Structure 1
């Protein structure tokens, strides 16, 4: 979909989409009091509910894993959709017509996306049933020869497209789908002929089980299309650069194990899952790219960090080496560490399972090596390392790769490993890398981390910070109980940098309609944004009024004044009034003023 959805349309989608209804389709929610609902988090394994939804504000937040957002964010995370796709899905559901700002035209016919998904589901059912027919004998023989049983075919919903050119069209039209929907879904061609004919088919789903499209394998010698594989054309829901086959089956395990295994084909995904590698997925009709990486990173989650793994299975031939090099150059897309698993015999996971069994597939993944080492070793193989010229040539070629690495914290480790591979001194290798950078080029600065450390995240259970947290919750959830100057509260009243950042945000965004959305949009970091959402969602101990909020703000300011008085008294004790009378008098006068302020705040804090 081209263009940008209007902000007012996005706001209408948010307003009409009840977050408790959407979340309730995935999570069993129970009343938690104070207008909040609670359930088990769908984004991480837990036994005690820590996932909270506040319908009145339209937010959810998990106090276990730190995931939070609005109804659009939830659908993005749960169904692995882009922002635009999530808005489209919700718009279809609540009947909002989206308009693009660049041309003023509707984004798509209202409800069309929903009908396309329904047509795809009906097509999957049709194709799966056709695999049982006599005509599909060749397809069943193909599966059997690759070690797949009828139960396996049912589990992966493998299907068969009949040779008859309009079998699917006739069936779906009888179910109420018109040609406009079938064309939009990529199920029929321009003149009404079925897109897939005489092919073995795999349904390609998103992480929420919605069928986005299909991949078809050639099984007849007289097939008019010479390509071994064809896929659904680009549609409203099928974008080949974003979809991964097996994602629906692997999503939960990827998040649970913080691991994703990338294989090359549909049968490889089946073989891997059957063998016990349940985190396997494959790109569909295109090479693995940056968008696929971002899809996986969302599933791995920020909490996976450098403990997560993305493992690629490549052939050991030149094509496999070229694919590894391409992935290496896009390695910055991952927070997780990247690895390569190569079978020495050159067999793919499907053929390896046929020849050596399930254990061999598991062993293939277990033998993974770091991606950068695999790439460097393959570069070294192209040179005669017994000769000085060969070692220097390999160092120069590999040095270009090392010089391009964005994460400078990894460079030293790469240099040591490269020196070991080439049998060179590490300082010699370092000189070659620096030469690749250029003598005048300054080292690239380390990128700022996307996810900040947990040390910057205040614990909700920290009693020392309870007053700071409760005051912010009052401000965010009931701003009407404070005066126009927030009862005089400033960011300096907060001792924790996270809370101070939220207070600065509150003061920077004027109170207005959709204030919550304005705060989120203005948050300077993802850490501040997630902390803001947690404070908006966390329930209050009681329904506040102006006096209740005044007591909290007064106590917070009183704590700050008490800290200043303590510091000032310490300075006074170290100041000699006979040697520095001016400084002593100034500090004493300041102390007198502060004591008066403390008395005033003490009275106010008592309500």
Structure 2
């Protein structure tokens, strides 16, 4: 749904950010800003700042920041539209009705009907579980030590022994065969007629993050195969982008998820008080799952089964999580197979201890790797270290790579420098690095990071001091900023200055992606070294402007085609102006 800039700004401006955030975080006024403990990471000293003037918040500890929309997107895990609707309702702003194309309306209507069908089916299965014919299923759940409250909380149910009972029920509710077939709950068979996808199974409703039933898992009561059966993918159910239990885990506020393999593991952990447990839906962990998890936490504890299959699944999951920027740790269940068995036999306190003993994912992968080599022989030991070095070389950040090299060297009693050299050697052998180019690459990255820092400093100055804009507007333009959110934010800010209405919170209305919100917020909240005099500030400003302008000219030169005569002339003129700028004095008095 598209909403105009005007309606978005009206909603934002009528929801004071200090008032909204104060309902979630205890704030204290210090100077012109309000401070409190950041709700997005654990801290003892307040580094979470909320500015009524800017109508923005920023945490100097973890980097979370944005306007009032961003806060709700991060805290409540709303989408931008969900945050907009919530704040509109809070402020009494009536949003315009959606205007759909015919095809959009058809898809929206179809999705709404399919969600209705899933909800009706969940209600039907729950009633069946409570009926006399559901006694076997109820005995099974009670045998798994689930109490009535847990059964109700997860909406567990039962599909009867009759292969078309759900079909008959849904038809009585007025749903057409076409929609029932698309729901994934009914199979249309030309020979034998319509029949239920699930029958004689304990039913586990699968809900999305907004508590809507989108599909089901079913555990058979007899000896039929497969033991577990899941809904097929439908317009409302994508198993690679949903997690079982996420609708409950997302509200626990714990800084990590417990990632399980099965429904019963999740339910048992929740019943035992571990309400941050989730599971993938009958499939291996995917990048889509990792991306979804990243919206809520930065760390995952894998509680996969302790057998070989569970170990292999954990080893596959670790790099997927790392690629998404999620730290993985491993909880082992020995002597039991899975969290469900562990909790039933040893209890919650023992599981808490296993969490405290969880192993680093990378170090765990090396422990498993050890089994493939005879470390008692020189050949086996060398081969093991070569493979370990290959894996260490996949850490892109030098600091992180060196930290892991140090940890591996300590654990396996070898020298740090020797292992570091082996990592470099294996990286070169695999084409992951070219030593001759490394200084240039590292220097280029450092220079780029430095330029971005300079641009952030200048943007922070610009939103804080109108005098700065007056002094630099003739020398710096938005085109001098890096592509992407830096340049877009600069363009919007320059327009606001030209219109005489500087409002950084309104700039953020143009960025609806949560990660973009974070990045743009950081552009206007860069820590700037305290300067004791106007003269020092003017000098620092001049150096920042020169650095940004010089980098902009260099970038333009690299992209210039040799045959572009007009472009070459513009470049020469820019260089001449840069020389003139070096001789000028910027004053902010």
Structure 2 partner of 1:7? none
Distance in 2 (CA, whole Å) between partners of 1:309 and 1:409 is: 19
Deviation at 1:427, TM superposition (A): 3.3
| 1:238 aligned counterpart, secondary structure | coil
Deviation at 1:321, TM superposition (A): 2.8
Distance in 2 (CA, whole Å) between partners of 1:566 and 1:323 is: 53
Which of 172, 182, 198 is the aligned partner of 1:174? 172
| 2:250 aligned counterpart, secondary structure | helix
- Equivalent residues of 2:492, 2:507 under 8 A apart: no
- Equivalent residues of 1:113, 1:237 under 8 A apart: yes
Structure 2 partner of 1:272? 269
Structure 2 partner of 1:483? none
Structure 2 partner of 1:537? none
Tell me if 1:506 matches 2:493. Answer: yes
Deviation at 1:120, TM superposition (A): 1.6
Tell me if 1:358 matches 2:358. Answer: no
Tell me if 1:250 matches 2:258. Answer: no
Deviation at 1:442, TM superposition (A): 2.4
| 1:357 aligned counterpart, secondary structure | helix
| 1:299 aligned counterpart, secondary structure | coil
TM-score, normalising length: structure 2: 0.67
- Equivalent residues of 1:203, 1:214 under 8 A apart: yes
Per-residue Cα deviation, 1:553-602 (whole angstroms, up to 9, x for no partner):
xxxxxx9999659999xxxxxxxxxxxxxxxxxxxxx9xx98xx98xx99
List runs of 5+ in structure 1 lacking aligned partners.
Answer: 1-9, 24-32, 52-58, 88-92, 100-104, 301-307, 473-485, 535-558, 569-589, 603-607
- Equivalent residues of 1:260, 1:309 under 8 A apart: yes
RMSD: 5.1
Structure 1 partner of 2:561? none
Q: Count residues in correspondence.
A: 481
Deviation at 1:362, TM superposition (A): 2.5
Which of 142, 150, 153 is the aligned partner of 1:152? 150
Q: Report matched runs for 1:169-568 at 5 Å.
A: 169-191=167-189, 192-221=194-223, 223=224, 226-253=225-252, 256-300=253-297, 308-438=298-428, 441-442=433-434, 468-469=463-464, 490=473, 502-507=489-494, 520=511, 527=518, 529-530=520-521
Compared CA separation, residues 492 and 174, structure 1 to 2 (3 A)? farther
List runs of 5+ in structure 2 lacking aligned partners.
Answer: 29-33, 37-53, 86-95, 500-505, 526-532, 543-580
Deviation at 1:510, TM superposition (A): 12
Higher RCO, 1 vs 2 (CA within 8 Å, ≥6 residues apart): 2
Distance in 2 (CA, whole Å) between partners of 1:524 and 1:144 is: 44
Distance in 1 (CA, whole Å) between partners of 2:340 and 2:513 is: 50
- Equivalent residues of 2:259, 2:301 under 8 A apart: yes
Deviation at 1:351, TM superposition (A): 0.8
Compared CA separation, residues 456 and 246, structure 1 to 2 (3 A)? farther
TM-score, normalising length: structure 1: 0.65
Per-residue Cα deviation, 1:24-68 (whole angstroms, up to 9, x for no partner):
xxxxxxxxx8675875459x95245999xxxxxxx9965678554
Compared CA separation, residues 411 and 66, structure 1 to 2 (3 A)? closer
Indicate the larger mover: 73-82 or 111-120: 73-82
Deviation at 1:115, TM superposition (A): 2.3
Deviation at 1:205, TM superposition (A): 1.2
Compared CA separation, residues 527 and 38, structure 1 to 2 (3 A)? closer
| 2:108 aligned counterpart, secondary structure | coil
Compared CA separation, residues 204 and 491, structure 1 to 2 (3 A)? farther
Compared CA separation, residues 81 and 525, structure 1 to 2 (3 A)? closer
Structure 1 partner of 2:136? 138
| 2:295 aligned counterpart, secondary structure | helix
| 2:130 aligned counterpart, secondary structure | coil
Per-residue Cα deviation, 1:361-419 (whole angstroms, up to 9, x for no partner):
32222221100110011111322222221211111222221122233322112222222
Compared CA separation, residues 296 and 152, structure 1 to 2 (3 A)? same
